[in-house]
């Protein structure tokens, strides 16, 4: 009889009991009863019950962090980056002299002279000092270029994806213009026209990198703007700016963060390539310029190119590991314990 009754919608029957069996839930109800309403049809409506299943969900704020830290390769990436960051930060204390200054006899191999553990280059400059100071330039340009390209890409992509229509058409065309030009050629031309200073190189790398961010953000926004939560936000009277920045952007950020970590790596590579070709800032030492300087002695003193090359490889690898780890941690479908 009970199953029979529960199948029938209660039409025109004010008296029909709505819930199933209230006995058990009533007994479990310990919360003080809120003010009585005369219209209550379901006694258990007084207070929502908290089932154990609801409590099992992990606290959301640290879920991603914990998922990231459970991933050993991602932690290794983070450690390597921490070492590089420490080297860059401590460079002025560790090697107060100008890394471009000649300090000793040229072309000493690593280990030959305990004062210069990584040897000296063709002009007698300390390779270790160059490596540590080069980390500053590489990381600075990588981070700054990524910041500029992410900000520009998010602005363009969000506007384009959220509003759609003609704005979208125009902005997509703009992105396509940049994408039809080979990135590195554009970079070389831009740096060749402008002065080869660090800000100019940073902006030039950002100019090459932002279209990819814009496309990613646009795709995210196009998918997210159709969500019920956006309609609900509009129903609450929120304006477009508020919806873009506060409702959609936080949901679109995870893939952008992942992309940013890889963009830093790409920017470091681009800067190294520019410096290798002698298009970098001649007044600062960078890993790329060190490789470029060692190029002519590749057969006799290969360590001059190999050491800064290894630094680039390790740093870029670390950033990619971090990117992979973030991707897994920020994607709720891949990380466990959602």
Partner 1 sequence: MALLNVEDLTIAFPRATPVRGLSFSVNPRETVALVGESGSGKSLTALALLGLLPSGARIASGRVAFAGRDLTALKDRDLRAVRGRDIAMIFQEPMTSLNPVLTLGDQITEVVRLHQGLSRAAAKRRAVELLDLVRIPEPQRRVDEHPHQLSGGMRQRVMIAIAVACSPKLLIADEPTTALDVTIQAQVLDLLDGLRRDLDMALLLITHDLGVVAEWADRVVVMYAGRKVEEAPFAPLFAAPLHPYTRGLLNASPRLEEGHHHSLGPLLEIPGSIASAAAETGCAFAPRCPLVRAACRTRVPEPMAAADDHSVACPVTFTRESEHGLAVG
Contact positions with partner 1 (CB under 8 A) in 85-124: none
- Residue 90, both tokens: 């401590």
The correct pick among 42, 90, 192, 334 for binding partner 1 (CB under 8 A) is: 42
CB of 311 to partner 1, least distance (A): 37
When asked if residue 237 is in the footprint of partner 1 (CB under 8 A), the reply is yes
When asked if residue 51 is in the footprint of partner 1 (CB under 8 A), the reply is yes
When asked if residue 20 is in the footprint of partner 1 (CB under 8 A), the reply is yes
CB of 334 to partner 1, least distance (A): 16
Binding mask 244-263 for partner 1 (x = CB under 8 A): --xx--xx------------
The correct pick among 2, 12, 180, 299 for binding partner 1 (CB under 8 A) is: 12
The correct pick among 75, 152, 198, 233 for binding partner 1 (CB under 8 A) is: 233
Nearer to partner 1, 114 or 235 (CB): 235
Which segment (44-52, 76-84, 100-108, 272-280) binds partner 1 by CB under 8 A? 44-52
Nearer to partner 1, 145 or 248 (CB): 248
CB of 66 to partner 1, least distance (A): 15
**SS3 track for the chain:** CHHHHHHCCCCCCCCCCCCCCHHHHHHHCCCCCCCCCCCCCCHHHHCCCCCHHHHHCCCHHHHHHHHHHCCHHHHHHHHHHHHHHHHHHHHHHHCCCCCCCCCCCCCCCCCCCCCCCCCECCCCCEHHHHHHHHHHHHHHHHHHHHHHHHHHHHHHHHHHHHHCHHHHHHHHHHHHHHHHCCHHHHHHHHHHHCCCCHHHHHHHHHHHHHHHHHHHHHHHHHHHCCCHHHHHHHHCCCCHHHHHHHHHHHHHHHHHHHHHHHHHHHHHHHHHHHHHCCCCCCCCCCHHHHHHHHHHHCCCCCHHHHHHHHHHHHHHHHHHHHHHHHHHHHCCCCCCCC
When asked if residue 234 is in the footprint of partner 1 (CB under 8 A), the reply is yes
Binding mask 143-182 for partner 1 (x = CB under 8 A): ---------------------x------------------
Q: Which residues bind partner 1 (CB under 8 A)?
A: 4-14, 16, 18-20, 31, 34, 37, 39-42, 44-51, 53-54, 57, 59-61, 164, 227-229, 231-239, 242, 246-247, 250-251, 338
């Amino acid at each position: 009889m009970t199953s029979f009754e529960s199948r029938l919608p209660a039409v025109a029957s004010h008296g029909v009991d709505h819930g199933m069996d209230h006995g058990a839930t009533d007994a479990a109800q310990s919360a003080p009863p809120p003010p009585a309403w005369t219209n209550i049809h379901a006694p258990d409506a007084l207070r929502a019950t908290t089932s154990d299943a609801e409590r099992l969900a992990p606290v959301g704020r640290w879920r991603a962090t914990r998922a990231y830290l459970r991933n050993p390769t991602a932690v290794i990436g983070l450690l390597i980056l921490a070492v590089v960051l420490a080297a860059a930060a401590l460079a002025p204390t560790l090697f107060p002299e100008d890394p471009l200054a000649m300090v000793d006899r040229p072309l000493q191999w690593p280990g030959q002279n305990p004062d210069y553990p990584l040897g000296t280059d063709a002009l007698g400059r300390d390779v270790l000092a160059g490596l540590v100071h080069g980390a500053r330039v590489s990381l600075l340009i990588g981070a700054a270029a990524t910041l500029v390209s992410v900000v520009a890409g998010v602005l363009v992509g969000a506007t384009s994806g959220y509003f759609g229509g003609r704005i979208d058409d125009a902005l997509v065309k703009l992105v396509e213009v940049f994408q039809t030009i080979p990135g590195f050629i554009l970079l070389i031309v831009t740096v060749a026209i402008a002065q080869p200073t660090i800000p100019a190189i940073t902006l030039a790398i950002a100019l090459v990198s932002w279209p990819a961010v814009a496309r990613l953000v646009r795709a995210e926004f196009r998918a997210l703007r159709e969500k019920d939560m956006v309609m609900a936000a509009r129903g609450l009277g929120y304006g477009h700016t508020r919806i873009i920045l506060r409702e959609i952007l936080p949901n679109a950020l995870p893939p952008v963060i992942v992309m940013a970590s890889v963009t830093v790596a790409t920017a470091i590579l681009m800067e190294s390539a520019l410096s290798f070709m002698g298009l970098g800032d001649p007044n600062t030492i960078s890993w790329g310029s060190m490789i470029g300087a060692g190029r002519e002695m590749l057969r006799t003193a290969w360590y001059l190119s190999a050491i800064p090359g290894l630094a680039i490889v390790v740093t870029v690898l670390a950033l990619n590991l971090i990117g992979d780890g973030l991707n897994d941690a920020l994607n709720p479908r891949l990380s466990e314990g959602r």
